[in-house]
Amino acid sequence: MKVLFFGPNGSGKGTQGAIVKNRLNIPHIETGVIFRENIQKGTSLGKEAKGYIDRGELVPDSITIPMILDRIKKDDCKNGWLLDGFPRNLTQAQELDRSLKKEGITLDIVIEMVLPRQTAKERIMGRRLCENDNNHPNNIFIDAIKPDGDKCRICGGGLKARSDDQDEAAIDKRHDIYYDTKTGTMAAVNYYKNLSATNNGVPKVIELDGRPGVKEVSEHLIAKLI
C-alpha cells in the first residue's frame, strides 16, 4: 500500500501517521524527521538543510526530491510506504507522480487532515519531542497526549521543544506554504484530488477532520482506510 499523508503542521499528522504505519505495516517516512536526524548527526545534508528549517522555509527541491525518491526505492519499501511531509509543493507532487509512473507504481491512498490554521498554530506551540523516539506524541495543550510532568508519556524520556515550533514567524511561514493553493502544499493536495477525479477514484482520497481528539480522529481514519 502506497500512502501520502497531508495536513498542516500541528494537525496531528505525525501521531495519526504512526497509527497508519502500524495498521498497514509499512515504513513511515517523515521528511522532517530525516532532516532533523541529519542535523543531529552533523551530516552535510543536515548542515545544508538547517538554515531553511530554522526559518520555516522549504529545503530546496534539488535536495529533497532525490532524497525521498531514493528512500522509497529501499528494500523496506517493497510492500509500500507512508510518506509524511512529502510532497510539500506542486513540483514535488509532479516529480513523485512522474517517478512512480516510470516505475509502474500506483499510489493507493491520499489522506488529508483538515484543520483551521489558528488551531494548528496553537497545537504546534504545545508540541514536545521525546529525546528517545521522535514518534512518541506529546503535547502540553492536548489532553489525550499530555506529557507525564516534564517526561514523555510513553517511555518517560526527556522532552524538548523544536526551535522552529516556538518561533511564530517560522510557524506562520510554514502555514503560508501549506495553505498556498497556487504552488504550495494545498496545490499538491488538489493535484491528487484532480488525479483521483479523472482516474476512477485512484488514488483514493480520504479527508479527515483533524479537530476532534486523537482517538476519535484515528477511529475515523481506520474506518476509512479499510
Residues at the interface with ligand AMP (CB under 6 A): 9, 31-32, 35, 52-53, 56-59, 64, 85-86, 88, 92, 174
Strand ranges inside 79-193, DSSP E: 81-84, 109-114, 127-130, 138-139, 159-160
Q: Are strands 127-130 and 2-6 parallel, antiparallel or unpaired?
A: unpaired
Q: Minimum distance from CB of 35 to ligand AMP (Å)? A: 5
Strand ranges inside the chain, DSSP E: 2-6, 28-30, 81-84, 109-114, 127-130, 138-139, 159-160, 204-209
For ligand AMP, give the closer residue by CB, 58 or 205. Answer: 58
Phi, psi of 48 (to 5 degrees): -70, -40
Q: Minimum distance from CB of 125 to ligand AMP (Å)? A: 13
Q: Which residues are catalytic?
A: 13, 88, 127, 162, 174
Q: Minimum distance from CB of 48 to ligand AMP (Å)? A: 11
Residue nearest ligand AMP, Cβ-based: 32
Q: Minimum distance from CB of 65 to ligand AMP (Å)? A: 8
- CA dist 77 and 73 (Å) reads 6
- CA dist 214 and 130 (Å) reads 18
For ligand AMP, give the closer residue by CB, 12 or 56. Answer: 56
For ligand AMP, give the closer residue by CB, 16 or 31. Answer: 31
Q: Are strands 2-6 and 109-114 parallel, antiparallel or unpaired?
A: parallel
